[in-house]
Amino acid sequence: MCGIVAAAAQRDVAPLLIAGLKALEYRGYDSAGLAVLADGQVRRVRAKGKVREMEAAYLADPFPGGTGIAHTRWATHGVPNEANAHPHMVGRVTIVHNGIIENYAALRTELQAKGYAFSSETDTEVMAALIDVNLSKGLSLREAVLATVRELDGAYAIAVMSRDEPGRVVGARRGAPLLVGVGIGEHFLGSDAQALIQVTNKTIYLDEDDVVEITRERAQVYTLDGQPAARDVHESELSADAVERGEYRHYMQKEIFEQPRAVADTLEARIHAHGVLPNIFGVDGEELLAKVKGLHIVACGTSYHAGLVAKYWIEDYARLPVSVEVASEYRYREAVVPADTLFVAISQSGETADTLAAMRESRRRGYLGTLAICNVPESSVVREADLKLMTRAGPEIGVASTKAFTTQLSALALLALHLARQRGLEQARYQDLCAQLLRLPRAIDEALKLEPQIVALAERFVHRHHALFLGRGAHYPVALEGSLKLKEISYIHAEAYPAGELKHGPLALVDEDMPVIAVAPNGPLLDKLKSNLQEVRARGGELVVFADSAAHIDGNAARGVVLRVDAGGEFIAPAVFTVPLQLLAYHVAVLRGTDVDQPRNLAKSVTVE
């Protein structure tokens, strides 16, 4: 989704803004722009496409200046073109915006009646005009922004400059991320800490409805009623290296290969051979979790798939009822909440609009408490949850989520074990599960060694238009995740089914043009899955089976491939079997020549509904 960078400094800021936008590219966007204020004049450059295209336009005619704002736009109102790209300028005001203003049409009509003409289709230009109207009343930029945001419905993060107030940028946020970077004699705004790591690792996280004014000398936060507010300065642990691609061809490949370390980090100091440490959910965590009689897990995309796996674990081992729902559905229906239910939000970014809104909605619905499983410590979801368990994946840049998923599974496995132990799971069983979880980093490392075989396998998919993924039990969500990876980055239409459903519809699609990918670890359902595979074979479907190394499953030389994966145990198998599916999607996409890290139309962080 849209990214924002802004600066108030003594040096020329355009190169810093461009570097910041490049660090935000992973969020997904389709146009970019920047504007610099110097000597009472604003110079602006915008371009459709990538930041490097906007950068080339800037370098062809560069301009100096120490105050500036910049933006990557993911189109919502109006197509991706130069006219709709940010920054937008109306009267004295130059603005960049992330989010959606819901009452913009009514405001636009009012402003047109006042004589404002608009050059784009965006809701952002309407906001700029409103700020300009407020400036005309004699308000300062800060006061004009405050007055304007009070009139807005919807979500926004903005950075605004006024031609009449040199050296100043005003930012504001509601429902979309924005933070302040504190430098030495310079201040910045950014959508995340990564955008600013090139200039500072000191950040101030803004609360909902905060407005902030930055100049070279200071950053002052105000609440919506205009009162100055104190906010802590954090030192980010992020290093510039963490967002480098290194030797890998794509971020996605790097992130797939980082999984053994990311999972080990997520488990570190939280579990040992004797069990899960009691305090990992914070001081009140153990007591609150002991009261839980059921869980509602809410998330989007890949995080939703992690929740589906957790349902199998928690119901099997802790015997607690679990429901899992996508956030955009949950938030708009009246879910029944039995007494003592825990609300669990899973989110890599912690800023996904629907997940955040669902969590806020849950407050009204009488849950025992909320737990966030998240990768970004200062994100909104984490800050608003009662309990949190951080995944420690490090920054994930590739739009298609990989290490975020396996670290979410690791965190959810800890939750399942914790709940299971509290509810009296037999000691020997519990210790076996703990031992399996401790083996997970090594098991993933082994699975990564399949890469050369998967590169060869990927050839079979290059010219395909469809693929069907099958799994049973906790491997059905793994099949869902595998199919999501393939469709996201290779643009091959892929679907996943619980294998037992094959005969109820999808079998009609199976012929020699429909590859069927089966996730087939050892377990009580393996024989049933084998029967499903026979049904595919009998119809001439091409089979690719990811099977446990110990499983008796044979390929059919002509129309089938079996890849051996060492699952390392039934409990951790879903996380391990995910890895070859990630690699398959990745290598198919590479062969098809798609934009692997920034697939078309998709965004990493979906901060609008």
User: Of 303 and 490, which has the nearer Cβ to ligand G6P?
Assistant: 303
Q: Which is nearer to ligand G6P, 12 or 609 (CB)?
A: 609
Site membership for ligand G6P, residue 598 (CB under 6 A): no
Q: How far is the CB of 81 from ligand G6P (least distance, A)?
A: 24
Closest to ligand G6P by CB, 400 or 417: 400
CA–CA gap between residue 533 and residue 514 (Å, rounded): 13
Nearer to ligand G6P, 162 or 401 (CB): 401
Q: Which residues contact 124 (CB under 8 A, 6 or more apart)?
A: 77, 86, 88, 95, 96, 97, 101
**With CB under 6 A as the contact rule, which of the stretches 300-308, 336-344, 548-556, 578-586 interacts with ligand G6P?**
300-308
Q: Which residue minimizes CB distance to ligand G6P?
A: 301
Rounded least distance, CB 145 to ligand G6P, Å: 28
399 binds ligand G6P (CB under 6 A): yes
Candidates 91-99, 139-147, 497-505, 598-606 — which segment interacts with ligand G6P by CB under 6 A?
A: 598-606
The minimum distance between CB 167 and ligand G6P, in angstroms, equals 35
Shorter beta-carbon distance to ligand G6P: residue 308 or 502: 308
Smallest distance, ligand G6P to C-beta of residue 404, A: 6
Q: Which stretch binds ligand G6P (CB under 6 A): 58-66, 202-210, 298-306, 447-455?
A: 298-306
Instruction: Please identify, among the stretches 102-110, 166-174, 191-199, 296-304, the one whose residues bind ligand G6P according to the rule CB under 6 A.
Output: 296-304
Query: Which residues belong to the active site?
Result: 2, 604
Report 333-392 residues binding ligand G6P (CB under 6 A).
Answer: 347-349, 352, 355
Applying CB under 6 A, the span of 219-227, 294-302, 311-319, 520-528 interacting with ligand G6P comes to 294-302
Query: Closest approach of Cβ 416 to ligand G6P, in Å?
Result: 19
Q: How far is the CB of 1 from ligand G6P (least distance, A)?
A: 9
What is the closest distance, in whole angstroms, from the C-beta atom of residue 357 to ligand G6P in the complex? 12
The token pair at 413 is 């496995």
Q: How far apart are CA 416 and CA 499, in angstroms?
A: 25
We find the least distance from the C-beta atom of residue 38 to ligand G6P, in angstroms, to be 37
CB nearer to ligand G6P: give 193 or 606: 606
Asked if 303 touches ligand G6P (CB under 6 A), the answer is yes
| Nearer of residues 201 and 607 to ligand G6P, judged by Cβ | 607
Question: In angstroms, rounded to a whole number, what is the distance separating the alpha carbons of residues 123 and 373?
Answer: 33
Using CA atoms, how far residue 586 sits from 437, 468, 514, 521, 542, in Å, is 26, 17, 19, 22, 20
> Which of residues 140 and 594 has its CB atom nearest to ligand G6P in the complex?
594
Given 182, 382, 604, 608, the residue binding ligand G6P (CB under 6 A):
604
Q: In sequence order, what E strands does 327-430 have?
A: 341-347, 369-374, 387-390
Nearer to ligand G6P, 179 or 399 (CB): 399
Is the bond preceding residue 87 a cis peptide, omega within 30 degrees? yes
Of 605, 589, 604, which is closest to residue 249 (Cα–Cα)? Answer: 589
Residues 20, 177, 183, 301: which binds ligand G6P (CB under 6 A)?
Answer: 301
Query: What is the Cα–Cα distance from 193 to 204, expressed in whole angstroms?
Result: 10
Q: How far is the CB of 399 from ligand G6P (least distance, A)?
A: 5
> Which of left, alpha, beta for 82 (phi over 0: left; psi -120 to 50: alpha)?
alpha
Among 75, 300, 573, 585, binds ligand G6P (CB under 6 A): 300
Rounded to the nearest whole angstrom, what is the least distance from the CB of residue 100 to ligand G6P in the complex? Answer: 16
Question: Strand pairing partners for 100?
Answer: 155
Number of residues interacting with ligand G6P: please give it, by CB under 6 A.
15
Q: Which is nearer to ligand G6P, 300 or 492 (CB)?
A: 300
How far apart are alpha carbons 507 and 188 in whole angstroms? Answer: 56
> In whole angstroms, what is the distance from residue 468 CA to residue 464 CA?
11
Q: How many CB atoms neighbour CB 202 within 10 A?
A: 18
406 binding ligand G6P? (CB under 6 A):
no
Task: List the structure tokens of 306.
Answer: 């992690």
Closest Cα partner for 581 from 259, 269, 358?
259
Q: Which stretch binds ligand G6P (CB under 6 A): 92-100, 301-309, 498-506, 588-596?
A: 301-309
Closest of 297, 231, 534, 570 to residue 432, by C-alpha:
570
Please give the full DSSP string across 406-468, using - where no structure is assigned: HHHHHHHHHHHHHHHHHTT--HHHHHHHHHHHHHHHHHHHHHHTTHHHHHHHHGGGTT-SEEE
User: Does residue 189 bind ligand G6P (CB under 6 A)?
Assistant: no
Q: Which of 476, 526, 519 is nearest to 308 (CA)?
A: 476
Which of 180, 309, 409, 606 touches ligand G6P by CB under 6 A? Answer: 606
Using the structure block, give the residue that is written with the tokens 């050059």: 119
Task: Give strand pairing partners of 370.
Answer: 343
Q: What is the signed CA dihedral for 182, 178, 164, 40, rounded to 10 degrees?
A: 70
Q: Rounded CA gap, 383 and 372, in Å? A: 9
Q: For the window 254-293, what string marks contact with ligand G6P as x by the rule CB under 6 A? A: ----------------------------------------
Q: Specify the DSSP element, H or E, that contains 265.
A: helix 259-267
CB of 560 to ligand G6P, least distance (A): 31
Distances (CA, A) of 67 to 6, 42, 64, 167, 203: 8, 10, 9, 5, 19
Pick from 131, 98, 120: which is nearest to 5 by CA?
98
User: Nearer Cβ to ligand G6P, position 23 or 567?
Assistant: 23
| DSSP single-letter state for residue 243 | G
Let me know if 24 is exposed, middle or buried by CB neighbors in 10 A (0-12, 13-18, 19+). buried
CB contact at 8 A, 237 and 265: no
| Residues at the contact surface with ligand G6P, assessed by CB under 6 A | 300-303, 347-349, 352, 355, 399, 401, 602, 604-606
